Homo-oligomer: A and B are copies of this chain.
Amino acid sequence: MAEEKGKITPQSEDFPQWYQDVVREGDLAEVAKVVKGCMVIKPHGYAIWEKIQADLDRRFKKTGHKNAYFPLLIPKSFITKEAEHVEGFAPELAVVTHAGGKQLPEGEEYVIRPTSETIIGHFFSKWIESYRDLPLLINQWANVMRWELHTRMFLRTTEFLWQEGHTAHATHEEALEEVIRMLNVYGDFAEQMMAMPVIRGLKSESEKFAGAVSTYCIEAMMRDGKALQAGTSHDLGQNFGKAFDVKFQNEEKKVDYVWQTSWGVSTRLVGALVMTHSDDTGLILPPRLAPVQAVVVPIYRKSKERAEVVEAASKLRDDLAAAGVAVELDDREGKRPGEKFYEWERKGVPIRIELGPRDIASGEAMTRLRVAEGKEKMKLETLARDLPGVLESFQGFLLERAKKFREDNTVSVDTWDDFRGVFADGQSKFVWAHWDGTTQTEAAIKEETKATVRCLPIEGQGVDAGPGACIRTGQPSRGRVLFAKSY
């Protein structure tokens, strides 16, 4: 797809191109080109990631986890120790065969971590001796690499930034509690911070993590009706414990393998944010994750007005900053207000405040939310006091809008014809339908419609429950599962 600077293709015309345009015009990232499938995360994009990191890190620490750091390189032999793991990751590995001017001996090559279960398993086996060392609750913020063929900025890149939680427990029950706890940390983060509603559920066998007993996920609807897997939480059972000999002595002095979990979210969340809220004008950011929450643009015609207006605008900026608002004053010369509005809209700033001589005289400023019918006057005297509330209700508005969009694009379907109809012509919705639970049927459905089982919902999400008959085979189904095309 060609890149045309300054242009945003309408969403309705070409969604993938729209996405690329919004990311470029919002100055979030660019394709690296010189490094296959990699991107450069530009300052505005990285600032969003920093806000995501800060909030998640707080949630991880609050739930008892501690950060640590393990090597980037993993002995190639480690990857092969867990049979399903190697099968899943072998095709995507980047391999270091030379170092320090020499070829590494056969069998002593390293791979760049695609994920760290193996190397962390190795160290867990050294650190854990008894039940007193458990639970061991570790998180790592790191870069990882998976040599993917088809890449797209933020959504799938050969290198990406993420966090990976790795925990070890004395019982399977405790490990499962952790898996669900972290799934809910992700789900709550998505809804509270990203204003992105998610379905929490269990992956089917064919979509689970390579090496896991089971994988839980949060799935969000993008504005093209497709699903994006925004975070995963894995029950690893004793699979890696056995592969890396991670044993402990329990209270009854019996030796057993530990029960492990792992869970992660990545810079993919930035892509999810873009595709949940943005429009044909560009990026829309929820205030809680916006690096710039408000921009003040001074308006003046004659240069003699400039001093007065910029002074008042500076004062307003200072007041807003003191009230805890992440605010920018755009007093650049040589740019017209209209150009500035345009630029900040593309960057997704939640609210713009315009301030000219007449506003100063009347004691009111014109404000415009990033998604609004028109402008609103706000009293200058109380603006700094009132703005945090305005931003909070904009955060709520975006969540409600995203929920409504998902509701409008979710259907329950009971016949194969209806099911195929939903996914015809490249369309996607969230479809609740019965499935017989077999990998074979799942594959057949995918083959014919490109839709896949996104998850088997966990309880308490208002999903129409109860048994039924598989839409494809008519075989018994224990309950509806979520189907959609996906990223």
Contact = CB atoms under 8 A, between A and B. Distances in A.
A98 interface: yes
Interface stretch (A66-74, A187-195, A363-371, A407-415): A66-74
A97 B97 contact: yes
A49 B69 CA distance: 10
A400 interface: no
A93 interface: yes
Contacts of A101: 90-91, 93, 147
A68 B29 CA distance: 9
A84 interface: no
Given A96-B95, A97-B97, A41 B69 contact: yes
Contacts of A99: 36, 93-95, 147
A50 interface: yes
Interface in A98-127: 98-101, 110, 112, 119, 122-123
Interface in A72-97: 72-75, 78, 90-97
Nearest to A43: B66
A73 B43 contact: no
A161 interface: yes
A405 interface: no
Contacts of A147: 99-101
**How big is chain A's contact interface, by range?**
35 or more
Given A93-B99, A94-B99, A70 B123 contact: no
Contacts of A143: 72, 142-143
B46 A69 contact: yes
B149 A100 contact: yes
Given A43-B67, A112-B96, A34 B122 contact: yes
Contacts of A93: 98-101
A406 B221 CA distance: 61
B43 A138 contact: yes
Nearest to A32: B71
B161 A69 contact: yes
A99 B38 CA distance: 13
A35 interface: yes
Contacts of A95: 96-99
A351 interface: no
Interface string A13-49: 0000000000000000000101110111111001101
A145 interface: yes
A223 to B, nearest CB: 26
A159 interface: yes
A44 B91 CA distance: 36
A72 B143 CA distance: 8
A99 B46 CA distance: 27
In the complex, which of the residues A32, A49, A69, A95 has the most CB atoms of chain B within 10 Å of its own CB atom?
A69
A50 to B, nearest CB: 7
B71 A40 contact: yes
Contacts of A71: 32, 35, 38-40, 159
Contacts of A39: 71
Given A94-B99, A94-B100, 18 more contacts: A34-B119, A35-B110, A38-B72, A39-B71, A40-B71, A43-B138, A72-B112, A72-B143, A72-B145, A72-B159, A73-B145, A73-B159, A94-B110, A95-B98, A96-B96, A96-B112, A97-B98, A143-B143
| Closest CB pairs A-B (n = 10) | A100-B147, A43-B66, A95-B98, A41-B69, A38-B71, A35-B71, A94-B99, A99-B147, A97-B97, A46-B67
